[in-house]
Structure 1
Amino acid sequence: MTTNGGFLAGASPETLDALLNALRELNARQIRETQQHWRRTLPFADYIVDRWDKAKALGFSEGASVYDSCLVLGDVRVGENTWVGPFTLLDGSGGLDIGNNCSISAGVQIYTHDTVEWALSNGRVSAETAPVKIGDRCYIGPNVVISKGVTIGDGCVIGANSFVNRDIPGGVKAWGTPARVIGITCEKADSSD
C-alpha cells in the first residue's frame, strides 16, 4: 500500500497492515449484510459511499442517488428521485440534463462529446460537443450508449444494449443498434384515449 505523502505518510508497516486488515474485515461484513438483505454484492467503495450523499455533493436534485462506481464528468444535472446505477458514465462536458424519476441502469454510457475529428486530424481539431437531454420518467436499460446531441422525450423506455444516436420522441419504446422506435409506452397509450 503506498501513501503518496497523504495522511498515512510515515506510518509503520505494522500500522498499514492493520489498516488493510480492518478494511478487509469491513468489506467482508458489508458483503455478508448486503447479501443477506438484498441478495447482491457491490464494489467496496459502494459499501462505504452513501449514494444519496454523493448525489447531493454533485448537486443532483432531491432524492437522486448515484453509485460511487459512476464516472461523472463536466456539467451534469440530474432530476429528483432519479437513480443512477453502478458502472455508468455521465459525460457532461457538452451539458447533460437527466429528468425526474428516471432509472439509468448499470453500465449506461451517456456522451456529450467525441474526439473523432480530433483523432483524425492528428490533434489539430478540437473535440466536438453537443448537449444530451433525457426527459422525466425514462427507463434507460443496461449497457445503453447515448451519443452526443441526443434528446430523449418524457416517458421513454430504451432497451438494453441499444445505441442511441438520434432523438427519441416522448412516450415510446426504442431499442437496437442504432435504436429505433418499436412501440409506445402505456403512458402514451393511456393519453391517446
Structure 2
Amino acid sequence: MLDKLKAFFNERSQFFKQTYNRVLPFGDTVVDRWEKAKLLGFGANTSIYDSSLVLGEVSVANDTWIGPNTVLDGSGGGLTIGAHCSISAGVQIYTHDTVRRSLTGGQARIEQAPTAIGDHCYIGPNSIIVKGVKIGDNVVVGANSLVTRDVADNTVVYGTPAKVIGSSLKYQESE
C-alpha cells in the first residue's frame, strides 16, 4: 500500500510540475481545492487548499481564493469572508483568544468576537487578523501585517500593528 501511495504521489507531482510548474504537499495533490470549498459550503468558484485549517463557523462568498497553510478560525462567533478576495499563504484569521484565560490560570473565559472581511480584499502573506476585527470592502493588507483594529473601505494597511498607509483606489482601476 505504501509503495502504491508513493507511486501515486510521484505521478501527481509530475503532473503538477509539468502542468503548473509547482510541487505540492501530498494532500494538495490529492484534494481538489474547489471540491473542498463546496464541502465547506463556500460560495461558487471559491477554492481552498487542503493544507488550510478551518475551525467553527466560517462563511466565504463567491470567487475567493484561499491560499495554502492558512488558519480560518470561526470558533469564537463566526468568520465571514466576502466575494472576490485573495487570502494569501500563511494568513491566520481568528475569532477568539485565550490570553486572559491563560494569565488567570483558567479562571477567565475564552474571549470571543466575530471577525469579518468585506468584498474585494487582498490579505497579504503571513498576515494575522485578530478576533473582532472588521475589514471593509476593497482593502489591501500588506504582507506580514498584524491587524488589531477595524479597517475602513478602500484602505491600504501595513505593519505590526497594521497602520493605514493609503487608499486602495489606485488598485481598483482596470488596465
Q: Same fold (TM over 0.5)?
A: yes
Moved over 3 A (4+): 187-190
2:116 counterpart letter in structure 1: K
Are 2:7 and 1:25 equivalent residues in the alignment?
yes
Are 2:163 and 1:180 equivalent residues in the alignment?
yes
Query: Would the aligned equivalents of 1:172 and 1:188 in 2 still touch at CA under 8 Å?
Result: no
Match of 2:59 in 1: 77
Q: Secondary structure at the match of 1:36?
A: helix
User: Among residues 35, 46, 50, which one is paired with 1:64 in the alignment?
Assistant: 46
2:151 counterpart letter in structure 1: I
Query: Would the aligned equivalents of 1:99 and 1:136 in 2 still touch at CA under 8 Å?
Result: yes
User: Among residues 29, 41, 47, which one is paired with 2:29 in the alignment?
Assistant: 47
C-alpha distance in 1 between matches for 2:171 and 2:69: 31
C-alpha deviations, 1:22-49, integer Å up to 9, x for none? 1101111111111111111111011111
Q: Call closer, same or farther: CA 1:137–1:187 in 2, change over 3 Å.
A: farther
Are 2:54 and 1:91 equivalent residues in the alignment?
no
1:109 counterpart letter in structure 2: Q
Shift, 1:71, TM fit: 0.4
1:102 counterpart letter in structure 2: C
Percentage identity across paired residues of the two chains: 54
Are 2:112 and 1:129 equivalent residues in the alignment?
yes
C-alpha distance in 2 between matches for 1:157 and 1:37: 30
Match of 1:111 in 2: 94
- Choose 1 or 2 for highest CA Rg: 1
C-alpha distance in 2 between matches for 1:188 and 1:53: 30
Q: Call closer, same or farther: CA 1:188–1:23 in 2, change over 3 Å.
A: closer
RMSD of Structure 2 on Structure 1 (CA): 1.3
Q: Secondary structure at the match of 1:166?
A: coil
C-alpha distance in 1 between matches for 2:165 and 2:108: 37
Give the TM-score taking structure 1 as reference length.
0.86
Unaligned runs of 5+ in 1: 1-18
C-alpha distance in 2 between matches for 1:185 and 1:111: 24
User: Among residues 110, 117, 129, which one is paired with 1:146 in the alignment?
Assistant: 129
Q: Call closer, same or farther: CA 1:187–1:98 in 2, change over 3 Å.
A: farther
Unaligned runs of 5+ in 2: none
**Once structures 1 and 2 are overlaid, which stretch shifts more, 20-29 or 181-190?**
181-190
For these two proteins, the number of residue pairs brought into alignment is 172
